[in-house]
Each structure stands twice: as C-alpha cells, then as structure tokens.
A = this chain, B = another copy of it.
Amino acid sequence: MEKVKTILLNKGIFSDNNAEADKLRQNLEKEGVFLINVMSSPGAGKTTTLISLINRLKTRFNVGVMEADIDYDIDAVRVAEKTGCKSVQLHTGGMCHLDASMTRQGLEELGYKGLDIVFLENVGNLVCPAEFDTGAHLEIMILSVPEGDDKPLKYPLVFQKCGLVIINKCDALPYFDFDFEECKRRILNRNPKATVIPVSAKRGDGMEELENYFIKKINGKEKT
C-alpha cells in the first residue's frame, strides 16, 4: 500500500462552478471513472459505512477514496488500512464544502486513472456541500437514526439532490424515537426518485442490498 497523502486544497478560482463540475464529470467519464459524492451530518458513520461497502466492492472494481475534513488526518489512513484501497486525505483549510476545483485537485493527488470508482467523503455538513456540484456522477447521503426522522423536513436540499439515502445505525432503532416509515415518506416527498436503504454498517445489516445497489449503478453507469 502506498503512503496516505494529506493535501491542503486551494479554494476554486473559477467563477462558474457548475461549468467546471460538468467539465470534470466529462473528463472522468472518458477515463471510465465513476465519482460518488458522500454527504452526511458529522458523526453519521460515513467512514465506517464506506469501509464496509468498499470491502464488498473491491473484488469487482478498482476503488479509490478521498477523505475531506477541515482538520484531521485519521480517516484516510483508516480507510487505507481497513480496505487496502488508494486513499488521500483532503484538508479544506476551514471550508465547509468542496467545489469542483477542489475535487479535481484531490483526484489528481489520488491518481484516478485506472480506477473504476472514486468515493469522495465530503465535510460532515447537511447544508453547504449540497449547494456545490463537485463533478460527481452520483450524490448520496447517510442519515443516522440518532439524528431523528425529521431531518428531511429541516434540510430539504441535500435530500432533493441525493439519488440514494442510506439510513445508518439501524441497530440503535430500539433506543431512539425514530419512525423509519415516516422518515422514508418524508425523504420520498423531497425526492420521489430516491432509493432508501437502511443499514447498520457496524453490524453488517443491509450491506448486501447496498452492495447490489452500487453494482447495478456502476455497471449501468447511470447519471442521477
């Protein structure tokens, strides 16, 4: 395994982030790379879920991971150690989200050629990351049970944008007042096309369904 790099990203200089994101998306398509932007609140279990998922996907696909944080170096090392996949740590220099230019810097440092899938673990934040197109082909989010079933009411944009909502920490359902069916209804109300998959990344529940979702999505390379 290569040493895990930490990269301090520079804020994008492009005035039109959407155009820059479209360009990046097309560049990645030409190389056969499918980029997935993973969003969630702090502590929803992004890294644990990704490690579990990547260990299932890595027999079929070459996977790379970019771990974005404001100031922390542990996640990328943890992913590399637990999955053996290529991984880089991105520091946003205080920024609350990644834009397309920052994502491109990360991809260049990661070395994306030859990869089939790159997961971008965005900064833990339900507001700002949803506002910036990173150039990803698929936006997904992780909502964890302890956060509550009202989050689709309070943070509309991220639920509208995500093709997949993973509901994590389902092993904690007995200890929290969380109505899964009501939450799913609220998610579909924001985005009728969303797929909702309950999992416990820690215990492994639901991970096969999640694996199958990605196999289908990446083989088809559908844009959502």
Closest B residue to A202 by beta carbon equals B177
Query: How far, in whole Å, are A69 and B126 apart by their CA atoms in the complex?
Result: 12
Interface of A is mostly: loop
B126 touches A124 (CB 8 A): yes
Q: Does A220 have its Cβ within 8 Å of any Cβ on chain B?
A: no
In this assembly, does A41 line the interface, its C-beta being within 8 Å of a C-beta of chain B? yes
In contact, B70 and A124 (Cβ under 8 angstroms): no
CB distance from A184 to the nearest CB of B (A): 17
Per-residue contact bits, chain A 54-95, to B (CB 8 Å; 1 contact, 0 not): 000000000000000111101000000000000000000010
Bound together, the chains give a CA A128 to CA B42 distance in angstroms of: 13
CB distance B71 to A124 under 8 Å? no
Tell me whether A125 is interfacial, beta carbon within 8 Å: yes
CA distance A175 to B125 in the complex (A): 24
For A125, give its contact among B72, B126, B169 (CB under 8 Å).
Answer: B126
